[in-house]
Amino acid sequence: MRSKTDPGATADLFADEALQQPPGREQIGEQSYVLRGYALPWVERLLPELRRVLAQSPFRQMVTPGGFTMSAALSSCGELGWTTDPTGYRYSAIDPNNQQPWPPMPEALRQLAVMAAADAGFEDFEPDACLINRYVPGAKMSLHQDKNERRYAAPVVSVSLGLPAIFLFGGHERSDTAQKVSLFHGDVVVWGGVDRLRFHGVMPIKPGTHPVMGPQRINLTFRTAG
């Protein structure tokens, strides 16, 4: 994460940012929204908190039960963290790398998620898990459903920082055609209710250097898991 403007942003990034949408709420499903630029006023508060979390539980490359190493590197904060290894996917109160509890969820992160959820129609969101995904150029996330949470009543709140991404928002079947939604630094996606179990994923991140975050995209996903 960089603290000041890097003039080395690529032409590709400028081309993508020209597509950036003005602030506002865009509906992408019956109970799903992109809140454009919603996190921008929070970024200065979020980044030092994120650095503290990552100093305690650094990013690591996890392996799926199928034996594939995920291209996105992961960490977590909150009471529960999502993990995968050859034995399965699960939430755990313990970071398997250091056998310690995950770092607590910083208040600024929690507040942002709760406010975004409320603005998308989900009052009283109580996230207990924040998954932190780091994508370098070329990294992606395959289409999947978020099904490891104990209940599905709460929404998923997903905050994008850094390089742009194309978010795939599919249906309830893996084979359903997915919408392609461009996401930029500061955008927040919220999906829940009838849309809670929709397949979603991220296309490979294009090369670039973000002026604030450097050559990476960081995504924070908040859930009620326990």
Residue (of 219, 188, 225, 185) closest to 202 by Cα position: 219
Q: Between 99 and 198, whose beta carbon lies closer to ligand AKG? A: 198
Contacting positions for ligand AKG (CB under 6 A): 131, 133, 141, 146, 158, 165, 167, 200, 202, 219, 221
Q: Measure Cα distances from 112 to 3, 115, 138, 155, 209 in Å.
A: 21, 5, 28, 14, 25
Q: Between 131 and 213, whose beta carbon lies closer to ligand AKG? A: 131
CB of 87 to ligand AKG, least distance (A): 20
CB of 59 to ligand AKG, least distance (A): 14
What dihedral angle (degrees, nearest 10) is formed by the CA atoms of 40, 178, 200, 160?
-10
Q: Between 114 and 218, whose beta carbon lies closer to ligand AKG? A: 218
CB of 159 to ligand AKG, least distance (A): 9
Q: Which single residue is written with the structure tokens 């969820």? A: 105
CB of 215 to ligand AKG, least distance (A): 16
- Give the H or E element holding residue 56: helix 43-56
Q: Between 4 and 157, whose beta carbon lies closer to ligand AKG? A: 157
Quick one: tokens of 223?
Answer: 């859930």
